[in-house]
Amino acid sequence: MTSPAVSSRDLPHPERDEIRLEGVLHALSDPMRLRIVRELAAAGAELSCSHFDLPVTKSTTTHHFRVLRESGVIRQVYQGTAKMNGLRADDLDDLFPGLLDALLDAAARQAVRIGSG
Amino acid sequence: MTSPAVSSRDLPHPERDEIRLEGVLHALSDPMRLRIVRELAAAGAELSCSHFDLPVTKSTTTHHFRVLRESGVIRQVYQGTAKMNGLRADDLDDLFPGLLDALLDAAARQAVRIGSG
DNA sequence: GGCGTACTACGATGCCTATCGTACGAGTCG
DNA sequence: CGACTCGTACGATAGGCATCGTAGTACGCC
């Protein structure tokens, strides 16, 4: 194949209008998921699940990505065997202007302060 | 007594440096608690627990206020039989500049959009 | 002291969830 | 086809948590 071609398997995402603030906050209140989102934002591009080296098993990683997707924080698309993950920054900015930036900034400040990132 | 006098009963609060972003987000990911925080912000002053008319029992209300306090979102002080609740906006703004405003704005926008506030 | 109000403490309950392990499906490459 | 990689599904487990009800404590007032 030339390009890996997007698989026919597609995943359920909430529409932009279905995204709830409570759901987003809950998704980001888990350290593992906050870390994933920070990495995605820092990369500024879509990353495969396997790119992340998290201190949990693959099952748990899958679980966290699903929570992020179902809460509307990320968008997931299959590309061959890989699943690419991208922040839904456009949708979030439209719904909650400035929130994502404030959250990422807050996470970065805390990482500096605590010294764990 | 002239003024209700702050009771000797005092409540454990996290120091500013102990406040964690994950804890704040988790606290605000509950609709009841987000509602409390929005009311506190709208009032711009300290409010007693009994001021809030929440669709849950008083036991549950106590629980929610404790979660908010222990996560560092609010400060609670006894004044006679009443317990006054105030947002820790100063501490939060110092730790996470702009975050509280962004969260309150996001909640307000969602309330308008959904039509439940 | 006695009463009423404001809030708490404790136990119970049912649900949600973070985690794991194993077994499996989908896709790519040789 | 066969092997390998990436990720999923499912079941289990243990802990957390939102909720309730009842009983109890602290405080102010009469």
Confidence band, pLDDT 50/70/90 cuts, at residue A6 = low
- Most B CBs within 10 A among A25, A68, A91, hence the mutation to make, goes to A25
Cα–Cα distance measured from residue B54 to residue B33, given in angstroms and rounded to the nearest whole number: 10
Residue closest to A79 by CA, chosen among A58, A59, A49, A40? A49
Which position has the higher pLDDT, A6 or B82?
Answer: B82
Whether the CB of B94 is below 8 Å from some CB of chain A: the reply is no
* pLDDT the model gives residue B2: 39
Q: Is residue A117's pLDDT more than 90?
A: no
Is the CB of residue B112 less than 8 Å away from at least one CB of chain A?
no
Question: Rounded to a whole number, what is the distance in Å from the CA of A109 to chain B's nearest CA?
Answer: 7
Question: What integer is the mean pLDDT of A10-36?
Answer: 97
* Domains present along chain A, CATH in parentheses: 18-108 (1.10.10.10)
- A63-79: pLDDT as tens digits: 999 999 999 999 999 99
pLDDT over 60 (residue A4): no
A with B: how many residue pairs have Cβ under 8 Å apart? 81
DSSP A71: T
Query: Does B32 reach chain A within 8 Å, measured CB to CB?
Result: no
Q: What angle do CA B28, B30, B32 make, to 5 degrees?
A: 105
Q: Which of A29, A96, A102 sits opposite B26 (nearest CB)?
A: A29
A9: confidence class by pLDDT, cuts 50, 70, 90: confident
Residue A84: phi and psi, rounded to 5, are -90, 140
Largest CA distance in chain A: 47
Residue A5 is predicted with a pLDDT of: 60
Residue with the two structure tokens 């709830």 = A20
pLDDT band at A7 (very low <50, low <70, confident <90, very high): low
Residue A58's pLDDT is: 97
Tell me, what's the pLDDT at B115?
A: 78
Residue whose token pair is 């071609």: A5
Per-residue tens of pLDDT for chain B, all 117 residues: 434 566 657 899 999 999 999 999 999 999 999 999 999 999 999 999 999 999 999 999 999 999 999 999 999 999 999 999 999 999 999 999 999 999 999 999 999 999 765
Rounded Cα–Cα distance for residues B32 and B56 (Å) = 9
Which tokens sit at A101? 């930036």
pLDDT at A8: 59
How deeply is A53 buried, as exposed, middle or buried, from its count of CB atoms within 10 A (0-12, 13-18, 19+)? exposed
Round to whole Å and give the CA distance between A86 and B9: 49
CA distance B6 to B112: 38
Torsion-angle region of residue B14: left (phi > 0), alpha (psi -120 to 50) or beta?
beta
Under an 8 A CB cutoff, do B31 and A22 touch?
yes
DSSP B97: T
Question: Closest partner residue to A98 among B25, B28, B102, by Cβ?
Answer: B102
Closest residue of chain B to A103, computed from CA coordinates: B99
Q: Does the distance separating the beta carbons of A103 and B102 come in below 8 Å?
A: yes
Is the distance between the Cβ of B25 and the closest atom of strand D smaller than 7 Å? no
